Structure 1
């Protein structure tokens, strides 16, 4: 009897130990500092440092909560992926943001386009994903046959793909990304294939080697996209599409965004600012385009839904080449009450601190720039309010309500200084 009990205890101990190997190991009970590989869930404690030494998976039906001030350091040697089959809640704060990054020694100009780890990849089983006051940087590695995402047929499910920093693919799911920063990435910052979605008050910069959008939406999305700053994406700031076979039809309300220098580093038909295609339905109001390549551009062979609405957008071009590309035609979409000049320098938005002659081909971002508006800006008091947005009543994630912000009477993401 004693021998049988001993064997049972040994088996139990072995099982517990194996389970610990799958999740956090060597976790300090006081600080919460630890390392992770394999399956993870639970809570990463406020202010802790988590070192990810291989691919991690949040299992279906389980959740990982990341508290404010957590630094998640991804191992650049193994280039891990974060696979979200359950739920992920990264709830930082303005004072203590969460950061997904690499070791400090690797945060160099040579690595400015990342590729040092995979990305946050949410499977169709992921019901809720939150990034609030969260920094995602140095991601976008290229998949191989050994990648977990390839083995599990996630994202595009094949080797040789440059991963987005964030992928979400549940048409019945909820995705909220607010007050966050995406930077130092190889290609797309986000690639979204369905869900109830809010992108608000985010910043996207220093991204895209040879391609990539800040926000790339496919079929199945009901999205509010507002008060985002997008600087010098390689391709578009927003790519809005209903491509794919998912329901519902993608309908995007994009308003009060500030777009700077986007599209010039990919001088092809799709390099620009906002691209609409494939029967996507959009309402695009109160956006400020400064030195972007093209205005709102449609795919003439597969245009947007005829119910789409455009208006109250402002365009500024430092030189005549840029201004000429804003002029409405069959490809370039004009809206009601748009502010579009015909001469270089017209409609100076009067930013508090930004050199309007800045090189449009430079992806480098200066965090001291201030895109608020000085008195006399033509963007003040020209915005439209009162239009319908999807999530004015809010989306509840992990018991917390997140609402898309109300539109403003000014144009752009930032009002008067």
Structure 2
């Protein structure tokens, strides 16, 4: 009898131990601080610190909500991946953003292009993913045969791939990324393969060691991209493609964004500002291109949908080489009502605080810069406002409605400061 009771106790203990491995462990119930490995769901309490010591998975049909001010420390030794099969809601605030990062001692110049942990990888079963007032940094590790994403055939499903900081892959899902920062990443900031999508009011900088875009869209995406600042991506600010044979056809509306110094660190001529290809349908207007390597560029062998619209975009080049590479050709797309000069220095945008003579190869972003427009800027009053974004009625995630911004009467991501 005693032996039988002991066997029963041991069996129950093993069940409990296994359950612990599938959820948060070592959680302080008062502060919410803890460490996690394996399956996670529920709520990470506001202001808490979560240490991720190995790959974590949000199971299908479950959700993880991350409250304002949470710091998520990824273990650089194990380079964890965050696998999202259910839903993820990272809801920070301006005063208390959420941060996915690494130990402070590793946030160095040597590690400025990340590679210290994997990324947020959302499988096709993820129906809702929100990043609001969220900082994602030092991600983009290279996969190996031991990576969970490789074993589960997620993202590209093979070893040797540099992971994006964010991957989303549900054509029927909803993705909202707003008021957030992507920085210190090895390659693509985001790689999106379907869904109803809003990217608005975000910053992308210090990204791309040898390649990579800020936002990389494929077929199945219906996206509005507005009011973002993209600084010195290695390749394009936006790569817009209908590749992948997913339904619906990719349709991207990109407006009132500011792109600065993009494309110059790419070792081949592909990099630039916005790249369009493979019958993607686009409406691209009210965007500001400051010292970008090229203007909007198409793949001449697989061009964009003929219904695409290009209008009211603004170009400035500090030197003549840059200005020459803005000029329309069969590759560089001319828009209607564009503001584009032919001489170095034409159309100085008059930012509140940014020296337009900054070296185009500079990848270091200064928080002191201010890309609002001074009074008298030639970009004021030149915006197009009669194109309706796709998600003005909003996308509802976790019961909250997030709407695409209205097009502005100025060009670029920011109007005047007051």
| TM-score with structure 1 setting the length | 0.98
| Moved >2 Å (runs of 4+) | 1-14
Q: 1:389 corresponds to which residue?
A: 389
Displacement after TM superposition at 1:367 (Å): 1.0
Q: 1:66 corresponds to which residue?
A: 66
User: SS of the counterpart of 2:272?
Assistant: coil
User: SS of the counterpart of 1:150?
Assistant: helix
Q: 1:406 corresponds to which residue?
A: 406
Q: 2:150 corresponds to which residue?
A: 150
Q: Deviations over 1:126-170 (max 9, x none)?
A: 111000000000000000000000000000000000000000000
Tell me the distance in 2 between the aligned counterparts of 1:67 and 1:9: 38
Tell me the distance in 2 between the aligned counterparts of 1:398 and 1:10: 40
Tell me the distance in 1 between the aligned counterparts of 2:5 and 2:122: 43
Tell me the distance in 2 between the aligned counterparts of 1:332 and 1:397: 38
User: SS of the counterpart of 2:110?
Assistant: helix
Displacement after TM superposition at 1:245 (Å): 1.3
Tell me the distance in 2 between the aligned counterparts of 1:16 and 1:290: 58
Tell me the distance in 2 between the aligned counterparts of 1:175 and 1:268: 32
Q: Deviations over 1:83-104 (max 9, x none)?
A: 0011000000000000000000
Q: 2:26 corresponds to which residue?
A: 26
Q: 1:277 corresponds to which residue?
A: 277
Tell me the distance in 2 between the aligned counterparts of 1:350 and 1:5: 80
Displacement after TM superposition at 1:289 (Å): 0.4
Tell me the distance in 2 between the aligned counterparts of 1:69 and 1:406: 29
Tell me the distance in 1 between the aligned counterparts of 2:22 and 2:63: 15
The aligned runs of 1:183-262 (5 Å cut-off) are 183-262=183-262
Tell me the distance in 1 between the aligned counterparts of 2:377 and 2:107: 37
User: SS of the counterpart of 2:19?
Assistant: helix
Q: Deviations over 1:216-247 (max 9, x none)?
A: 00000000000000000000000000011100
Tell me the distance in 1 between the aligned counterparts of 2:379 and 2:255: 13
Q: Deviations over 1:326-376 (max 9, x none)?
A: 111111111111000011100010000001110101111111100000011
Displacement after TM superposition at 1:2 (Å): 8.7
The aligned runs of 1:101-112 (5 Å cut-off) are 101-112=101-112
Q: Structure 2, unaligned stretches of length 5 or more?
A: none
Tell me the distance in 1 between the aligned counterparts of 2:56 and 2:41: 10
Displacement after TM superposition at 1:8 (Å): 4.8
Q: 1:346 corresponds to which residue?
A: 346
Tell me the distance in 1 between the aligned counterparts of 2:2 and 2:178: 58
Tell me the distance in 1 between the aligned counterparts of 2:353 and 2:12: 63
Q: Does 1:134 align with 2:127?
A: no
Tell me the distance in 2 between the aligned counterparts of 1:150 and 1:2: 47
Tell me the distance in 2 between the aligned counterparts of 1:378 and 1:385: 17
Moved more, 6-15 or 385-394: 6-15
| TM-score with structure 2 setting the length | 0.98
Q: Deviations over 1:369-417 (max 9, x none)?
A: 0000001101100001121211000000111111111110000000002
Tell me the distance in 2 between the aligned counterparts of 1:30 and 1:38: 22
How many residues are treated as equivalent by the alignment? 417
User: SS of the counterpart of 1:324?
Assistant: helix
Q: Is the 8 A contact 2:351 2:372 kept in 1?
A: yes
Displacement after TM superposition at 1:12 (Å): 3.6
Aligned pair in 2 of structure 1 residues 404, 11: CA closer, same or farther (>3 Å)?
A: same
Q: Is the 8 A contact 2:237 2:273 kept in 1?
A: yes
Displacement after TM superposition at 1:3 (Å): 7.6
Q: 1:91 corresponds to which residue?
A: 91
The aligned runs of 1:8-27 (5 Å cut-off) are 8=8, 10-27=10-27
Tell me the distance in 1 between the aligned counterparts of 2:175 and 2:124: 12
Tell me the distance in 2 between the aligned counterparts of 1:353 and 1:76: 36
Tell me the distance in 2 between the aligned counterparts of 1:22 and 1:395: 31
What is the alpha-carbon root mean square deviation over aligned residues?
1.2
User: SS of the counterpart of 1:16?
Assistant: helix
Q: Is the 8 A contact 2:213 2:236 kept in 1?
A: yes
User: SS of the counterpart of 2:15?
Assistant: helix
Tell me the distance in 2 between the aligned counterparts of 1:315 and 1:196: 30
Displacement after TM superposition at 1:76 (Å): 0.3
Displacement after TM superposition at 1:7 (Å): 5.4
Tell me the distance in 2 between the aligned counterparts of 1:224 and 1:64: 25
Q: 1:115 corresponds to which residue?
A: 115
Q: 1:160 corresponds to which residue?
A: 160
Q: Does 1:296 align with 2:296?
A: yes
Q: Does 1:331 align with 2:331?
A: yes
Displacement after TM superposition at 1:21 (Å): 2.1
User: SS of the counterpart of 2:46?
Assistant: coil
